A and B are shown apart, each in its own frame.
Chain A
């Protein structure tokens, strides 16, 4: 049986080669499809990554009322203890942020505008003292924020949730649009692969009818076409993986310059990425060929070729 396997694989490769123009076209279309699909997935992964990063920051800024922060006499420790005593606040993750530091942090967010704000001088101490507070249990986030807001000394709580929500929205859009594009392209590439294999089949009509007449099973007849389809899929998978990996690593360095979260590291997903590309490529190649030959095999006729 192994002999046969080798023989059938060789036949399939011969098919792919003798139809190389169509093979090339199929690979090309499939590459486009896979690259777009991969990009959509990677964008989605990165947004998720940014979101978990935001959550992983895990902290809210608790700003004190001016009345408290402004008075020289208040005790940072007292306020810290008040905050720590709130249910679900992680006592090891409560950090005092004096107004100067908060201001500097704010300043660093602007780049060019720095001079303008500099001009404000000392009066620029517009921010109150604050605490950076982390939670133990993220699922009780809302309730804890509410409790913090209810403390007498607290002016407001700045959450990261707005960003998270917006990112979640973008992610959903990317996913939906991505799924549609991918679905559409998948249909197109299946169509092209199907036609490539059909072309081979037409060329090999005589061969198939002879195979049938000497008692070849469906799998024996199918194998070379399957090999042809899988070869197309495999080639497309490898090429698109290389393309996407290259594009991603260039994009990643760009992303890390604009976003402090940075891009999701390629090395962490490179294996999954490769497997996904190969898997998708092979699956669509195999499906394309099985679909195109299926109808032909159902018929028991065609033996004497009329």
Chain B
């Protein structure tokens, strides 16, 4: 599903964010990416989103070498991903419904399809009765569930979440990771989640990859204790 081969990333200002990173994630895995601040975790995700490109090495997602994508291919590639951000990234003057619908509209979906699918996904994240609210009328946890609904709406095979619980209180954090966990278990969606919260990592017991100074320093490996 995902493969990083000898990936180096140095930013224009000379910061070496990734050094010779090798990582393989199989379809259907749930991976926590941990590491101290500035370790290169977000850089890794940005390379997956094709927001940044590596200086050398190869990244392969779903049999696509990202280095072969042209500018025109990138939107279509991104539609196969779901992205969740720490700061939610909701459009403030759009309702919950419209925020989610937006991601569908971008792909050229018809209004009919949007009307059918959005309520379904909102129900899935437990926000049916908040459908007409504006983002600032919601709690952090609720806002992040809108973000999650938006990431899910186009049925991505891969969800990338950068500290999705960073701005959410602990109880809500658990709920959000639990939702991701369910999505992974039920749909087989591959999930990469960056987090600083060790409590969550311990509780869910999924694969853990640790990055320090741009290098992969620890990997719990495939999920041996799945059903513990």
Contact = CB atoms under 8 A, between A and B. Distances in A.
A247 B106 CA distance: 47
A305 B83 CA distance: 13
Given A210-B91, A220-B106, A215 B52 contact: no
Nearest to A204: B91
Contacts, number: 72
A136 to B, nearest CB: 63
B125 interface: no
Interface in B94-149: 102-103, 105-108, 110-111
A115 interface: no
Size category of the A interface is 20 to 34
B52 to A, nearest CB: 7
B180 to A, nearest CB: 18
Size category of the B interface is 20 to 34
A217 B72 CA distance: 8
A304 B51 contact: yes
Contacts of A218: 75
A7 interface: yes
Contact of A217 (B42, B75, B105): B75
B89 A215 contact: no
B52 A210 contact: no
Given A7-B105, A209-B89, A300 B76 contact: no
Given A214-B79, A214-B154, A1 B49 contact: no
Contacts of A298: 71
Contacts of A217: 72, 75
B105 A4 contact: yes
A216 B106 contact: yes
B215 to A, nearest CB: 23
A211 B78 CA distance: 10
A73 B203 CA distance: 131
A101 interface: no
A305 B106 contact: no
B5 interface: no
Given A212-B78, A214-B103, A303 B83 contact: yes
A7 B111 CA distance: 10
Interface string A27-41: 000000000000000
B107 A302 contact: no
A168 to B, nearest CB: 52
B111 A3 contact: yes
A216 B102 CA distance: 10
A301 B51 CA distance: 4
Contacts of B46: 301, 303-304
Contacts of B162: 304
A219 B16 CA distance: 35
Nearest to A217: B75
Interface string B179-212: 0000000000000000000000000000000000
Contacts of A210: 89, 91, 102
Given A206-B91, A303-B49, A304-B162, A4 B74 contact: no
6 contacts: A4-B108, A211-B102, A216-B75, A298-B71, A300-B71, A301-B51
Given A3-B111, A215-B77, A304-B51, 11 more contacts: A3-B105, A211-B102, A214-B78, A214-B83, A214-B154, A215-B79, A217-B72, A217-B75, A220-B106, A301-B46, A304-B46
